[in-house]
Amino acid sequence: MQKYEELLVALRQVIRAIDLYSKKLNKETGLTSPQLIVMQEIALCDGVTVKKIADNITLSSATVTSILDRLEARKFIIRQRSATDKRKVGVHLTENGHTALENAPKPLQEHFINRFEAMEEWEQTQMLATMQRVAKMMNAEDLDASPLLEVGQIQQPTLTS
């Protein structure tokens, strides 16, 4: 098994763990991780626009809209169209939303956070740096486009069963 495949497996496990936790959260508190994250963002900057939220948390506007739909249906947030620029929609937490947010746990497993913070400072730094590097390597896409390649290997191994 190739090393990058193992990396992919580990990555899938991480993604899955995050998803499972989000679902567990939802069952227990009625809020998912993405919903919590969006609400945190609103709490941080009342009246923030949909676009801004999307940019801040690296999601598309469409996704944020659908999350906001659910939050609005449960009266955790309200939308308010801007008067000065009628394209923009400002989002606010309701009273209800504030208390929900305050009572909610963190959007990441507490025990992961505990374990992470129990590590040595340098280890935390190291882990973060590695993750950021992976992110960069995956996102580069348009940035690098040059070095270390040049090798015209476009084919794919012919699956020797």
Partner DNA sequence: ATTTTTTTGTTAGTATACGAACCATTCGTG
Partner DNA sequence: CACGAATGGTTCGTATACTAACAAAAAAAT
- Select the binding partner of residue 78 from a second copy, DNA, none (C-beta < 5 to 8 A, by kind): none
Stretch that binds a second copy, among 47-55, 68-76, 84-92, 95-103 (CB under 8 A): 95-103
- Select the binding partner of residue 92 from a second copy, DNA, none (C-beta < 5 to 8 A, by kind): none
DSSP 91: E
Pairing of strands 48-49, 77-81: unpaired
What count of Cα atoms within 13 Å lies in the side-chain half-sphere of residue 105? 17
Pairwise CA distance, residues 126 & 132, whole Å: 10
CA-to-CA separations, 5 to 10, 12, 39, 88, in angstroms, rounded: 9, 10, 35, 43
Encoded one letter per residue, x for contact with a second copy by CB under 8 A and - for no contact, window 134-153 reads xx-xxxxx--x---xx----
- Select the binding partner of residue 89 from a second copy, DNA, none (C-beta < 5 to 8 A, by kind): DNA
Those residues whose C-beta lies under 8 Å from the C-beta of residue 84, and which sit 6 or more positions away, are none
Distance of CA 46 to the CA centre of its chain: 20
- Select the binding partner of residue 113 from a second copy, DNA, none (C-beta < 5 to 8 A, by kind): a second copy
Identify whether the C-beta of residue 47 lies closer than 8 Å to the C-beta of residue 80. yes
Residues that bind DNA (CB under 7 A): 15-16, 19-20, 22-23, 26-27, 32-35, 49-52, 58-70, 79, 84-89
Residues that bind a second copy (CB under 8 A): 3-4, 6-18, 21, 43, 57-59, 98, 101-109, 111-118, 124-128, 130-135, 137-141, 144, 148-149, 156, 158-159, 161
